[in-house]
Structure 1
Amino acid sequence: MEDHEKTPLLYDESSTAIPMPASRHSAADHDGDAGSQTPTAQAMPLHQPKPTYPPGSAAAINGHHASIVGGSGSNSAAPTPPPRTNTPRLLRRRDGRHRMNWPSPRTAFSCFGVTLLFFFLYLTVTSLLHPPPLGPGRRTSIDVALRHILDETIGTQRVWDRLAEMTDLYGPRPSGSPELEKAGAAVRRWQRNEESAQLLLPTRAPRTMPMLGLGGSVGTGPEGIEADVVVVDDIDQLNTMDNATIAGKIVLFDTAWQGYGISHRSRVNGASEAEKYGAVAVLVRSSTPYSLGTPHTGIMYRANIPAAAITTEDADYIRRVYSRYLTAENATSPFKSAFVQPRVRLTMGASLDAASVKTRNIIAEVKGRMHPEQIVVISAHTDSWDVGAGVIDDAAGFFVAWEALRAIATYGIAPRRTVRLVGWVDEEQHQQGASTYFKNRKHEIKDHVFAMEADSGIFQPWGLKVAGTDRAQAILRQIGERFLGEMGSGNVTALKDEVISDLGQLMNAGVPCASFYSLDPITQASPLSADYDGYFRYHHSMGTWAYVLAEMEERIDVEDPDEAAHI
């Protein structure tokens, strides 16, 4: 915390203080819903004193303190640079501490921060590659920028500490809860309340099943619902059945894990489809490849019948019972008289508050020095489900984005364009924060150059999945190969048939968008692999790219092929 002791705090007026260094180019405000007031941004001086490097650091080993000269926003004189041969290569540490070895979450957070921040170097690189060189001092500015980024991220626990503090102190932050209000935002509140599910078989006592009501579900009433169960694979199979089979029954969607994009469809749409056939309730197999009796909740489209998730083990159990029931007539087993249709008693006290409250995003930005009206967004969401602290989903993403902006602010030279951090609210349920942002800032959308979100876990960094033109993807690949190739975290691939939840409206408006991805925390597979499912074993329980895109001479979203970006 010593690095924050002498710096003011950036405050959300009715929320927890967010530690950010002083910068005259940064501001924090809120998005309210229609008619809300936006507080005046606090001034935060951008230029910081030159650091004093401790003995043994990379700077001390090099034996000099370099300064940026000749670049925009700098008026300091250049010291005599050392011989070229003494300058360390990019990302090489003489003491051997920088290795691609990830023994702990703290190290993973540090590396992910470096990945997000490393394109910060682009401020200097773009000006060096194309204009004529202005002397040796200008060349050493790369080392200064790199040293700043490494000193700010490697070996520090800032992100880890802020993440642990918020999640330990405030815990789960469901939309509309007092905990989320304290952490920084509030919206209309869905409440789980008391809930239970029991499997009823004539041969044994009622068996209580771990379950979680789906977000947005209606309740059953205090008396609950008791009915026979019909098991289907998915909505397609449901649509082959008639009303007589489904009416008055509880439908279990036992959808096998095929990746989150496919498997969660039954959870989202199952209840609204099943009620068309007269179903009285819906159960869904948890959207995860792995379980130890742990159900996974998630959002559903609103329906007039209740819906809940059960564990993969109990889904398998009910399917076995149901399969025996279907074959009982021709069975040769001595137990066939007990092959009956499974029956479930479901009780849910879920409710949705009638009154709504204002929704507020957390926003902070470093104003661009040349085109402040043009915006690069880095983002993550601040809310979580009510049954976990939301560390992976998505407090980790928010604090990595926060650290990225903090490092950009402390460097002392703002990029050409504005870099804006957005902490979205209500991502898990209705994306009210994203909708409000788009509505209130519609006049700015044409000047949104790029938008990114970190909402897929913060593990060993891999790169970006991009929704944008071929040209935009090609530019990002060049950036990744040039600056992050050695770390293995500069990969870029196209986003196919997916929507980045909080960025959906920006995507539809033609803004190039991307989602940050890590390697699978279990298998170390890339997001392109069929084995990429480790995140969903935990699910529900940045300024590098930003600086590059904000500093590029041309906008990445410009389609004229003659207007090539300078990489």
Structure 2
Amino acid sequence: MKINYVVKRTIKLCIFCLFCVQIGLAQNSDQEQIRKIYDVALTKSKSYDWLNYLSNQIGGRLSGSIQAQQAVNYTKAELDSLGLDKVWLQPVMVPKWVRGIPEFAYFETSPGVTTNVPITALGGSVATPPNGVKSEVIEVQGIEELVTLGEAKIKGKIVFYNRPMDPTEINTFSAYSGCVDQRYAGAMEAAKYGAIGIIVRSMNLRLDDYPHTGSMSYGELKESEKIPAAAISTNAAELLSTSLKLNPSIKFYFKQNCKEFPDVESYNVVGEIKGSTHPEEIIVVGGHLDSWDLGDGSHDDGAGCVQSMDVLYILKKIGYKPKRTIRVVLFMNEENGLRGGTEYARVAAENNENHIFGLESDSGGFSPRGFTFDGPDSSFEKIKSWKDLFEPYLIHLFQKGGSGADIGPLKNDKITLAGLRPDSQRYFDHHHAENDTFEHVNKRELELGTATMASLVYLVDKYGLLP
């Protein structure tokens, strides 16, 4: 009896030791593969050269523009050159809004005494009358103040939304979320009280002279009820606010020439490597190919597009053969409609495709810090068990949170969605502004982001996300 007990304990101990050895071997294997991914990304990556072309040869890629179509053609050709199993264009109808000749604005402290103001039309805004609009200004800190002021104090005036991003928020995206409603819905709400136009403080933590554009909505307003909407730079907002305290009778003038045209056809650009053992399980990695027209869209979101393309390039470069289908999608029209993401999800559902994981990069090409995840707790716990593999690369953020706008329409109760989270402290210095340009992207930071994305995709592909 005693001998049998000893034998059984010995067998269990051997099995346990063998299991530990297997885990150790798997961890060593993963460490080596991830090290290889980072090495290749930092020495042979194509992302920086791709971004150079997108930014400097094509430029800003507003949906429906010639530049957007040039970007579609270029990225498809580059994906074709990688030797993927399949590359195609997915048609999608997108809005076509054109800025027209540059906007102009000033405020007048007394007749003939004016100060010019950096200004830009918000995306989707109507134009001013041909001679512009000029009126007294009423400053508010948010939409909720309109109710208190009422029509009597707002009618016939220009509403100036001046709530800044909260500088105490370490997560700058939280600061952005805290004030972006005045940009998006400010015109719609002010028009209800008889305002003739709105100007908005740019969504920017820094004080500078760059006005930042972005999408806005008129909701259900009739065409005749729509009023022009624009953003002014943070320096201009500070100056105007101070001047209004000294002289509440200041008049503001602005002129813009934007126009909305009928929808036009554009495309999502898609490429994939077919899985070897579970081809029906799809892993998506992507960014949005469109950008605003003020800069060249290098951070928002040229960086995310070239990083996503590079994930497939690097996996092929190291000779990795995925078990599951890995698909890159460059979405069109995230900035002013989300038509690309919505159409991709619609077609996926129509074709009964099984997407198990989606990863989006749309927070700039800065140094990666980690990921946020949206999905089942069991999948999140499995992903968190890989965190130690990323710590040598200073990737420490693995937490529940949002993912990405374009992959959001894929959400269901099974899929796990993730967003790459770079350091965000400088992102809103460039977001939707004229200085979102190639020179502000650091090559090494961009490549580190690519490697971080490729490493997570590798682990999801190798182990899956089932409990």
**Given the two structures, how large is their TM-score scaled by the length of structure 2?**
0.79
Aligned residue in 2 for 1:430: 337
> What is residue 161 of structure 1 aligned with on the other side?
49
Aligned equivalents of 1:450 and 1:279: distance in 2? 46
Aligned to 1:460: 367
* Cα pair 1:380 1:397 within 8 Å, conserved: yes
Residue 227 of structure 1 is matched in structure 2 by 135
Q: CA deviation at 1:519?
A: 2.1
Q: Determine if the alignment matches structure 1 residue 439 to structure 2 residue 361.
A: no
Please state how far the C-alpha of 1:476 moved relative to its aligned partner: 1.7
- After superposition, residues 251-270 of structure 1 pair within 5 angstroms as 251-258=159-166, 259-270=175-186
Residues 465, 535 of structure 1: alpha-carbon distance in 2 compared, 3 angstrom cutoff: same
C-alpha distance 141-480 of structure 1, shift in aligned 2 (>3 A): closer
Question: Does 2:288 correspond to 1:381?
Answer: yes
SS at match of 1:291: coil
Mapped partners of 2:30, 2:359: distance in 1: 25
Query: 3-state DSSP class of the match of 1:166?
Result: helix
Per the alignment, in what secondary structure is the counterpart of residue 516 of structure 1? strand
Distance 2:28 2:131 in 1: 74
The Cα shift of 1:247 comes to 1.0
Partner Cα separation in structure 1 for residue 265 and residue 374 of structure 2: 30
Task: Render the CA deviation track for 1:496-529: whole Å, top value 9, x for unaligned.
Answer: xx57221221236663211111124xxxxxxxxx
In structure 2, relative to structure 1, the CA distance for the partners of 1:142 and 1:509 (3 Å cut) is closer
Measure how far apart 1:167 and its partner are: 0.9
Alignment of structure 1 residues 362-511 onto 2, 5 Å: 362-443=269-350, 447-481=354-388, 483-495=389-401, 500-507=404-411, 511=415
Q: Does 1:514 align with 2:418?
A: yes
Partner of 1:547: 458
What is the CA deviation profile of residues 434-463 of structure 1, one whole-angstrom value per residue up to 9, with x for unaligned ones?
111112221456611111110111222111
Cα offsets for 1:152-171 (capped at 9, x unmatched): 22233522122112211111
Distance 1:500-1:413 versus aligned 2 partners, 3 A rule: closer
Q: What's the counterpart of residue 306 of structure 1?
A: 228
Give the 3 Å change call, closer, same or farther, for CA 456–130 of structure 1 in structure 2.
farther
Change (3 A) 1:220 1:404: same
Tell me the distance in 1 between the aligned counterparts of 2:108 and 2:65. Answer: 35
Contact 2:291 2:297 in 1 (8 A): yes
Please list every run of 5 or more consecutive structure 1 residues that lacks an aligned counterpart in the other structure. 1-128, 325-338, 521-532, 559-563
Q: Which amino acid aligns with 2:259?
A: S
Q: Aligned-pair distance for 1:218?
A: 0.7
Q: Check 1:205–1:374 CA distance in 2 against 1; reply closer, same or farther (3 A cut).
A: same
Percent identity for Structure 1 against Structure 2: 30
Whole-Å Cα distance in 2 between the matches of residues 143 and 469 of structure 1? 26
d(CA) in 2 for partners of 1:151, 1:200? 58
Q: Which runs of 5+ in 2 are unaligned?
A: 1-17, 74-92, 167-174, 434-452
SS in 2 for 1:227: strand
Does residue 1:192 correspond to 2:114, yes or no? no
SS of alignment partner, residue 113 of structure 2 = strand
Task: Say how many residue pairs are matched.
Answer: 395
In structure 2, what residue type is equivalent to 1:462? Answer: R
CA 1:139–1:250 in structure 2 vs 1: closer, same or farther (change >3 Å)? closer
* Counterpart selection for 2:426 from 528, 534, 539: 534
Q: Residues 244 and 142 from structure 1, CA distance in 2 versus in 1: closer, same or farther, beyond 3 angstroms?
A: closer
Task: Give the 3-state SS of the residue equivalent to 2:48 in structure 1.
Answer: helix
Query: Which sits farther off after the overlay, 141-150 or 465-474?
Result: 141-150
The Cα of 1:312 is off from its aligned counterpart by 1.3
Task: Give the superposition deviation at 1:254.
Answer: 0.4
The 1:493/1:393 distance shift into structure 2, 3 A limit, reads same
1:375/1:550 contact within 8 Å kept = no
Opposite residue 546 of structure 1, the aligned amino acid is V
SS in 2 for 1:379: strand
Change (3 A) 1:254 1:177: same
Structure 1 runs of 4+ with >4 Å offset: 129-133, 138-144
CA contact (8 A) 1:477 1:491 kept: no
Distance 1:499 1:365, change over 3 A: closer
Change (3 A) 1:381 1:297: same
Contact 1:385–1:540, Cα closer than 8 Å, also in 2: yes
Whole-Å separation in 2 of the counterparts to 1:139 and 1:219:
59
Distance 1:262-1:208 versus aligned 2 partners, 3 A rule: same
1:121-180 CA distances to partner (integer Å, 9 max, x unpaired)?
xxxxxxxx97996xx9x9996687456424522233522122112211111111111111
Residue of structure 2 equivalent to 1:281 = 197
Q: 1:14 — aligned with what?
A: none
Q: Any idea what SS the aligned residue of 2:211 has?
A: coil
1:8-407 pair list within 5 angstroms: 145-146=33-34, 148-156=36-44, 158-184=46-72, 187-194=94-101, 195-202=103-110, 205-258=113-166, 259-302=175-218, 304-324=226-246, 339-354=247-262, 356-407=263-314
Cα deviation for residue 465 of structure 1 reads: 1.1
- Equivalent residue of 2:148, what SS? coil
TM-score, structure 1 length as denominator?
A: 0.66
Aligned counterparts of 1:174 and 1:344: Cα–Cα separation in 2: 29
Equivalent residue number for residue 43 of structure 1: none
- How many Å apart are 1:490 and its aligned residue? 4.2
**Larger displacement relative to structure 2 (385-394 or 536-545):** 536-545
Taking only aligned residues, the RMSD between alpha carbons, in angstroms, comes to 2.4
Once residues 139 and 457 of structure 1 are traced to their aligned partners in structure 2, the CA distance between those partners, rounded to angstroms, is 31
Amino acid at match of 1:534: R
Q: Residue type matched to 1:388 in 2?
A: G
Rounded Cα–Cα distance in structure 1 between residues aligned with 2:286 and 2:310: 11
